[in-house]
Structure 1
Amino acid sequence: MKAAGILVAALVLVGAAACGVPVAGTPVPVTVTPQAATTSVIAVPAPQTVYVQQPPVYVAPVDTSAAQTVIAYYDALNRRDFATAWSLGGSRIAGGGGYTKYVNGFATTSWDTLTVTDVRGNTVYVVLSAVQTDGSTRVFSGSYTVSGGVLAGSHMTRTK
């Protein structure tokens, strides 16, 4: 019977975690209460709080429209919404080859973690960690220039 209680608790946890979309990087408390079997009486332990946390995605020291544009760009990439990323300036920083080549360039990227380190006017300085589908991580640092609410240019260098 103890195994059944653990299974129910695990299912409740999985269901609870799937129901909400927590803000990235913010722990979300999930209360787990095992259900008692209907054919016998078992002791039900007190509810416990489990924290479900997504990896940190964005860290910005200053809330500016330029930084928010860069964050929105990487948010679109992480959601695999390449059309939005393209319209947020991906088309300007792609380096030629068109939309299909641009999308194919992200085929081996699993997730991007962006840290905004500074904002000076319309220039946003960042460190980017790109987790690859093979489990490796590529790290870049550099800057994006924002103009008219879209990326107008970039200068990124791979550091690892």
Structure 2
Amino acid sequence: MGRTTALRSALKAVFYPYVEARGFILDTSNQPWFTTFRRHQGDKVHVFDIQWDKYGGPRFVLNFGEAPANGLVRQHEPIAPQHIDLCDCQPRLRLQRRRGGTMGCWFQLRRPLWEQFISLSREYRPEEVAHRVTASFAEVETWWATRVQGPHVHGIGHDA
């Protein structure tokens, strides 16, 4: 069993049904390090992906943004809404367990050091992480509705 297997399984059991109930569709042509979801919302396409640690660690971050629902043009080629990727979105933002630019800010099994001392446990259970990202996803929905960045949202695009 790989280092991310338990965490990926917990996300599939807890988080995937949550976002699918909100109209998101899983893109089945994913790469190993990215899992992309999309939904049509009025005149926009909301896109987010789960980006896994490229070194195989049990950690991930959610990148999100939006694009026009009628599609767009990328490198002189028309892109249909169902094929819009996060690279087509402006601005691009990130949902993580806390603000900051390091991988220590990503959702992950390892607890912060201070929390390890208090809990006497080095890691969270995978289900705890899945429930945490599910609860934090409300900040993504809030940003799409109001453009207000919550405490777990961090800008990564040019206009964020």
Could you state the TM-score of these two structures normalised by the residue count of structure 1?
0.30
Structure with bigger strand share is: 1
Query: Which structure would you say has the larger RCO, counting Cα contacts within 8 Å and 6 or more residues apart?
Result: 2
Larger Rg: 1
